Amino acid sequence: MSLILYAYNRNKRNPLSFGPVSTGGVLELTQIVSRAFDIGLSSLTDPQAAGPRAAVPTQTSENRNSSARSFYIETFGCQMNVHDSEKVAGVLLERGYRPVDAAADADFLLYNTCSIREKAAQKVFQRLNDFKFAAKANQKVIGVLGCVAQQEGEEIFERAPWVSLVCGSPSYRNLPNLIEQVESGGRRVTGLDLDTDETFETEITRRDNPFRAYLTIIEGCDYSCSYCVVPHTRGPERSRASDSILAEVRRLADAGYTEIQLLGQTVNSYRDPSPRKWNFVDLLLAVAEIEGIRRVRFTTSHPNDFTREIVEAIDATPALCDHIHLPVQSGSTRILREMRRTYAREQYLEKISWIHGARRQFSLTTDVIVGFPGETEADFEATLTLLDAIQSDGVFAFKYSPRPNTPSLAMPDAIPEEEKSRRLAILNERQRQIQIARNEKLIGARFEVLVDTHHTARNQWAGRTTSNRIVNFSTSRENLLGQYVQVHITRSAPNSLIGEEVQGGEAQ
């Protein structure tokens, strides 16, 4: 899963006036390697990208009152965390809170944490120290959400007594009740229940991306990859009822969204809990049929649940985007077994052959971990040859680092840091060459682009193709944000394409 750093209220780099954002090595690395296929951070944070369409109401009648209590959410982590924060914001809006653009101005400061980061807990406590003075001086209420909240639990109150609320994602459904306790003066309020079959649904979701709406369809994870903390922090797999998903997509279409991204830790494990008993493909096809929806994406897929049916559905349905993110993690079957990934190299390659055999030209991205305990030079070489074989358009590559409560923590034969860095550099360069060659072949092609960014300084526009490729382009037209345009590709780079709008080729 790709990581991003995202402050909910759009101030990307310096969301707090009383302390810098601490970014771990993994985040910095990811920002480098994920540029081509991240979720479009610039479109979330660039004021120029504030879109032309009102998406979902962001204010209730109560919170228009500037004397209402204010909130600010600082978010780390994956798209799931970002979207969780959008829903948490919805809960607060419903309760009459108003959002503010700076943490220093907020009465209620929420910190949505991610445990994928190296030394995540340590960094969370450092960050909470930044909040300490503000909490005491201004009587701010501080809450910790997300994976580190679930992982550290009440220990957070011991080490940061100025925190009033600790809540992991499996308990978000109880947030209205927990917030009420905090409002009534509760000071050690917890939501740490892992044993649930319910999903987190809200009346209001405050979406900040005006072009792409995120929507969680499945929470938690029933796999047990040996390096991953998610089953310990997000709880067991639970799917949202198809009726509720479709109703929300219809509301999003009515609000002007044309692009939907379905989210889940293992999104393609979706199983409708309602009597319809839809599988993932049934749901995909139903979402794609909703009037006004032009693009449907989904992430992240688990290879074990990736079926030929999914490829066939995309092939036959233009509204389903022709981009698959299918994390492989290693090209060595031996390491995959140690990782408990439940598939072998050959099985992964078979699934890729379905994608390569499709009529549409799918783009493919993947995740790789280098330097897993015991990874030999031959195992690493197997990962490199797998990348050659699959010819993907982007790789999110990470150095392995141990996480608490994971089986791989106790595995012998740790790989030295220096060696992990060497392997990562080799892999990134190999992949860079693959992307250069692949993107060069696209010169001369024509793509439909959903415009989400305007680079004012160079008067250039940017957006994404259905295959999630970034296209920068020039045109004599103006006011293109949120529009679909046709672009002729004239140049290429490892992570993006460059072109010119096809005059008279407007798609909308």
Site for ligand SF4 in 210-239 (CB under 6 A): 221, 223-225, 228, 230-231
Whether 396 contacts 369, CB under 8 Å: no
Check binding of 420 to ligand SF4 (CB under 6 A): no
Check binding of 34 to ligand SF4 (CB under 6 A): no
State in angstroms the smallest separation of the CB of 228 from ligand SF4: 3
Measured distance CA(441)–CA(447) in Å, rounded: 13
Structure tokens at 70: 């204010």
Check binding of 70 to ligand SF4 (CB under 6 A): no
- Environment class of 192 (CB within 10 Å of its CB; exposed 0-12, middle 13-18, buried 19+): middle
Residues paired with residue 117 on neighbouring β-strands, in sequence order: none
Print the binding letters for residues 383-402 with ligand SF4: x by CB under 6 A, - otherwise: --------------------
State in angstroms the smallest separation of the CB of 299 from ligand SF4: 11
User: Of 258 and 406, which has the nearer Cβ to ligand SF4?
Assistant: 406
Site for ligand SF4 in 260-279 (CB under 6 A): 265-266
State in angstroms the smallest separation of the CB of 341 from ligand SF4: 7
User: Of 217 and 471, which has the nearer Cβ to ligand SF4?
Assistant: 217
User: Of 318 and 402, which has the nearer Cβ to ligand SF4?
Assistant: 402
Check binding of 369 to ligand SF4 (CB under 6 A): no
**Overall size of the chain counted in residues:** 508
User: Of 112 and 301, which has the nearer Cβ to ligand SF4?
Assistant: 301
User: Of 311 and 336, which has the nearer Cβ to ligand SF4?
Assistant: 336
State in angstroms the smallest separation of the CB of 367 from ligand SF4: 9
User: Of 78 and 149, which has the nearer Cβ to ligand SF4?
Assistant: 78
Measured distance CA(199)–CA(218) in Å, rounded: 8
Residue that the structure tokens 């999104």 belong to: 267
Check binding of 305 to ligand SF4 (CB under 6 A): no
Measured distance CA(498)–CA(508) in Å, rounded: 21
Measured distance CA(262)–CA(213) in Å, rounded: 9
Sign of CA dihedral 454, 458, 460, 465: negative
Check binding of 120 to ligand SF4 (CB under 6 A): no
> How far is C-alpha 175 from the geometric centre of its chain's CA atoms?
22
* Helices 377-390 + 417-440 axis angle, to 10: 20
Q: Contacting ligand SF4 (CB under 6 A), which of 206, 294, 297, 302?
A: 302
Give which of 162, 56, 72 is closest to 112, Cα–Cα. Answer: 72
Give the binding site for ligand SF4 (CB under 6 A). 221, 223-225, 228, 230-231, 265-266, 302
